[in-house]
Amino acid sequence: MPKPPAGRRGAAEPFWRTKTLDAMSPEEWESLCDGCGRCCLIKLEDEETGEVHHTDIGCTLLDGMGCRCRDYARRQTRVPDCVRLTPEAVRTIPWLPPTCAYRLLRDGEALYPWHPLVSGRASSVHEAGISVRGRLSGNEEEFLEEEYPDRIVDWPGLQPEDDD
């Protein structure tokens, strides 16, 4: 007999509500990524204040339309400073977008209705205007490092209702 969809009376709670980040299987962990691409934007850190600024420039491997890594399996080999998200990293990284499921769950918050695990549709993150789709100026190889400060934007660090 099929199980009723999560959220209905008597239905089992979804894994992200019952498990800690550390207890999730690799498949569950990976499914938390909503595919927004915000974490794959080039970030600049102010050396004096430590403040992190997002740019509208994507990592060399970021597909601006699909908002996913073009070579996820080999990303850390191809981009040595690519940060691998782990439960420990999620506890310490200050620049995760406020919409990030890893950050939300770390902080005891619920996932947004547009998150693919909640909506059941991968496209919902794009339809909600959360992803980087249509917002990138290009990928990092298209810019000189001296141009990066001119590409600083606020939207990756904003809540959806504040997003422009």
* pLDDT at 3 exceeding the cut of 60: no
Please check whether residue 5 lies inside any domain of the structure: no
Q: How many domains does the chain have?
A: 1
Global pTM exceeds 0.75: yes
Beta-carbon contacts of residue 127 (< 8 Å; ≥ 6 apart) = 114
Distance CA 88, CA 28 (A): 16
The reply to whether 160 falls in a domain is no
Q: What is the pLDDT of residue 158?
A: 86
> Which pLDDT belongs to residue 160?
76
Pairing of strands 138-139, 52-58: parallel
Per residue in 37-90, pLDDT (tens digit) is: 999 999 999 999 999 999 999 999 999 999 999 999 999 999 999 999 999 999
Q: What is the pLDDT of residue 85?
A: 94
In angstroms and rounded to an integer, the radius of gyration of the C-alpha atoms of the chain is: 17
Give the pLDDT band (50/70/90) at residue 4. Answer: very low
Print the domain residue range for 143. 21-154
Report if residue 54 sits inside a domain: yes
SS3 content of the chain, % helix, strand, coil (to 5): 35, 10, 50
User: In this structure, is residue 15 part of a structural domain?
Assistant: no
- The model's pLDDT over 27-47, given as tens digits with 9 standing for 90+, comes to 999 999 999 999 999 999 999
% of the chain surpassing 90 pLDDT: 87
pLDDT at 2: 43
Tell me, yes or no, whether 100 lies in a domain: yes
* 82 lies in some domain: yes
* Residue 2: inside a domain: no
Q: Is the pLDDT of residue 23 over 90?
A: yes
3 in a structural domain: no
